[in-house]
Amino acid sequence: MDPYKEGRWKEQFEKFEKSFELLEKYQDISIDSEIERTGMIHFFEMSMEHAYSTLFDYLDAKGNPVESKRHALKEIKEYPFIQNHRTWMKIYNRRNLAYYLFTEKVARQLTQDIQTTYYPELKYFYQQLSLEK
């Protein structure tokens, strides 16, 4: 493996780790206010962007460069980093929901999905890649 590419994905993972730790810090608290929901959504979006960057660079380091997030998600099925591919595709497909359809109802639903479905997937991703690092 190219040492530069190996270092690159690990650097991206460290960025992911920092954003994931922010998300994890508030995972188990009750999210009641608009500012709390907005913060949770923001931490989640940050974590996902860093997760995608980590995926891109990890796959590139393994000799499997990808051009898009969707392509990365298709390729990563071959590796043991995700539990539920459908959940990752749902996250991908809903990524702009908060930007274009932001309402109180959407924010509440997205926050609930983050806490109950998306966070466990990200935690598994984090744990599995930590073993590689």
Closest CA to 113 of 89, 84, 91, 85: 91
Q: Which segments of 26-118 does DSSP mark as H helices, in order?
A: 34-61, 69-75, 85-93, 97-100, 104-113
Q: What is the pLDDT of residues 35-87, one digit of tens each?
A: 999 999 999 999 999 999 999 999 999 999 999 999 999 999 888 999 999 99
The whole-model pTM stands at 0.91
pLDDT of residue 1: 66
Residue 31 is given by DSSP the state -
Using an 8 Å Cβ cutoff, are 19 and 50 in contact? yes
Token duo for residue 65: 């460069």
How much is the mean pLDDT over the chain? 92
Residue 99 has pLDDT above 90, yes or no: no
Token duo for residue 92: 């991908």
Q: What is the pLDDT of residues 56-69, one digit of tens each?
A: 999 999 999 999 99
